[in-house]
C-alpha cells in the first residue's frame, strides 16, 4: 500500500468519489468525522458499501475506522460492519499491544459467528493519539498476528497535550510530534508491520504534501494517510519507487543470488542490510502495481 484515504461513512457521495480516487485503501470512518446522532446510520452505510465494493473485479482495500475501545461504541460498530467482511479494522487511540489483543478477541468472536475465516480481518492501530500511548509503543511486537500496521497522528495528541500548534511556521513538526512520528516508525519496524505516516491536513498545499511524503519515504515509512482524494495521486507517486531505485534494487538482489555475504554493485560494497532494503523496495513496487 501507498495511500490510505479517510472517507466519512455517512456520505454516499463521498464514498463513491473515494472509490474512484486511486487510493490503495479506503478507510471508512465511524469515529471523528461522524457526529454521535449519525453513527448508527453511518455503520449501516459502511456495511452496505463494503458489501458492494467487495464484488468489484478490482477494488482498493476496504478498512473501517471504528470508535475507540473506551468509547462504549465499539461493539455496536463491529456488530454491524463485520457482516460485510472488511479487510481490516482501524483502531483509533490505541494505547498498547493489549488494546490490539482486545480488539483481536472481539474480531475472532464475530468471524466465528459470521462464518468468516479465522484471522481474515486485519488490524491497523493509530498508536500516538494519547500521551499514555507513547509509552506503549514497544508493546506491539508480537501482540497479534492480525496487526498489519502502526500509524501515528498529531491532531488528537496535540489536543491532549494542550498544544497551541504541532507545526512551526515552516510547516515542520515541533518536538513532541516529531518524537511521536519517529517512535512509531521504529515501533512498526520492531513489530514487523507497515509504518504509516500521518495525514497532511492542508489538502490544498500540494508542494508541502509532496515534501512531507518524500521525507517520510526516505526515513522508512511505506505509506501515508490521506484526508482528501486530491492528495492520493501525490502520495501514490511519492511512495512508488522510481525506475532507477527499482533497477538498482534488482541489481543488488541479483548480486546476492550467488550466496555471497558481501558484493560489489557499481563499485560500491554492499552487505546484508543493503539486500534487505533492496528487497523491501521491490516488494513495495510489486504491491503498488497489483
Tens digits of per-residue pLDDT, 156-215?
Answer: 999 999 999 999 988 889 999 999 999 999 999 999 999 999 999 999 999 999 999 999
Task: Single out the residue of 240, 255, 260 nearest to residue 24, CA to CA.
Answer: 240
Cell numbers representing residue 228 in the block = 482528501
Same domain for 265 and 230: no
What are the backbone dihedrals phi and psi of residue 119, each rounded to the nearest 5 degrees, phi first?
85, 5
Indicate if 203 and 155 belong to the same structural domain.
yes
pLDDT of residue 206: 96
Does residue 102 share a domain with residue 81?
A: yes
Mean pLDDT of 25-42: 96
Cell readout for 66 is 471504528
Of 240, 256, 274, the residue that ends a domain is 240
* H or E stretch at 218: helix 206-219
pLDDT of the residue at 290: 44
pLDDT at 289 over 60: no
Q: What is the pLDDT of residues 248-279, one digit of tens each?
A: 778 888 888 878 788 888 888 877 777 777 77
Residue 130 has pLDDT above 80, yes or no: yes
CATH for 35 = 3.20.20.60
* Whether residue 75 sits in one domain with residue 207: yes
The backbone region for 90, taken as left when phi is positive above 0, alpha when psi lies in -120 to 50, beta otherwise, is: beta
Q: What is the pLDDT of residue 170?
A: 87
Helix, strand or coil for residue 210? Answer: helix
For residues 83 and 121, membership in a common domain is answered with yes
Q: DSSP character for 167?
A: B
**pTM to 2 decimals?**
0.86
The pLDDT-based confidence of 46 (bands split at 50, 70, 90) is: very high
Query: Which of 221, 240, 259 corresponds to the end of one domain?
Result: 240
* 200 lies in the same domain as 276: no
Asked if 274 and 248 sit in the same domain, the reply is yes
Between 229 and 290, where is the model more confident? 229
Q: Are residues 275 and 199 in the same domain?
A: no
Checking if the pLDDT of 37 tops 90, the result is yes
65 pLDDT higher than 90: yes
Q: Look at 125 and 247; give whichever has higher pLDDT.
A: 125
Same domain, 72 and 214: yes
Q: Give yes or no: residues 148 and 279 share one domain.
A: no
Residue 263's SS3 state is strand
Q: pLDDT-derived band of residue 141, with 50, 70 and 90 as boundaries?
A: very high
pLDDT the model gives residue 114: 97
Total domains, the chain: 2
What are the E-state strand segments in 167-289? 194-197, 223-226, 263-265, 268-270
In terms of pLDDT, which residue wins out, 290 or 108?
108
| Rg of the chain taking only CA atoms, in angstroms | 19
Same domain, 231 and 253: no
- Please give the Cα distance from 232 to 121 (Å, whole number): 24
> How far apart (Å, rounded) are the C-alpha atoms in residues 213 and 41?
34
Name the pLDDT band for 218 (thresholds 50, 70, 90).
Answer: very high
**Residues 123 and 138 reside in one and the same domain:** yes
Percent of the chain with pLDDT over 90: 80
Question: The C-alpha cell of 189 is what?
Answer: 519496524
> Which one of 208, 223, 240 terminates a domain?
240
List all residues 6 or more positions away from 260 whose beta carbon is below 8 Å from its beta carbon.
none
- The more confident residue out of 126 and 171 is 126
Which residue range is the domain that position 138 belongs to?
A: 3-240
With 80 as the cut, is the pLDDT of residue 42 above it?
Answer: yes
Amino acid at each position: 500500500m501507498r495511500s490510505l484515504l479517510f472517507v466519512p461513512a455517512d456520505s454516499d457521495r463521498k464514498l463513491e468519489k473515494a472509490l474512484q480516487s486511486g487510493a490503495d485503501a479506503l478507510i471508512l470512518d465511524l469515529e471523528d468525522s461522524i457526529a454521535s446522532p449519525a453513527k448508527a446510520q453511518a455503520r449501516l452505510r459502511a456495511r452496505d458499501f463494503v458489501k458492494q465494493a467487495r464484488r468489484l473485479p478490482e477494488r482498493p482495500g476496504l478498512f473501517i475506522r471504528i470508535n475507540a475501545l473506551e468509547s462504549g461504541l465499539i461493539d455496536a460498530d463491529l456488530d454491524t460492519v463485520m457482516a460485510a467482511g472488511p479487510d481490516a479494522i482501524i483502531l483509533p487511540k490505541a494505547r498498547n499491544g493489549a488494546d490490539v489483543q482486545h480488539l483481536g478477541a472481539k474480531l475472532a468472536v464475530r468471524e466465528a459467528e459470521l462464518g468468516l475465516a479465522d484471522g481474515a480481518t486485519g488490524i491497523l492501530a493509530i498508536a500516538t493519539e494519547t500521551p499514555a500511548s507513547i509509552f506503549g509503543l514497544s508493546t506491539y511486537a508480537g501482540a497479534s498476528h492480525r496487526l498489519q500496521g502502526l500509524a501515528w497522528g498529531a491532531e488528537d495528541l496535540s489536543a491532549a497535550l494542550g498544544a497551541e500548534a504541532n507545526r512551526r511556521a515552516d510547516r515542520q513538526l515541533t518536538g513532541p510530534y516529531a518524537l511521536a512520528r519517529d517512535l512509531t516508525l521504529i515501533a512498526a519496524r520492531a513489530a514487523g508491520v507497515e509504518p504509516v505516516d500521518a495525514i497532511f491536513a492542508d489538502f490544498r498545499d500540494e508542494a508541502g504534501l509532496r515534501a512531507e511524503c518524500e521525507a517520510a519515504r526516505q526515513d522508512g515509512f511505506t505509506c501515508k494517510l490521506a484526508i482528501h482524494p486530491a492528495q492520493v495521486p501525490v502520495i501514490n507517486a511519492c511512495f512508488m519507487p522510481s525506475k532507477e531505485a527499482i533497477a538498482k534494487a534488482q541489481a543488488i538482489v541479483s548480486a546476492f543470488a550467488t550466496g555471497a555475504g558481501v558484493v560489489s554493485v557499481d563499485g560500491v560494497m554492499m552487505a546484508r542490510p543493503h539486500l534487505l532494503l533492496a528487497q523491501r523496495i521491490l516488494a513495495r513496487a510489486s504491491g503498488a502495481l497489483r
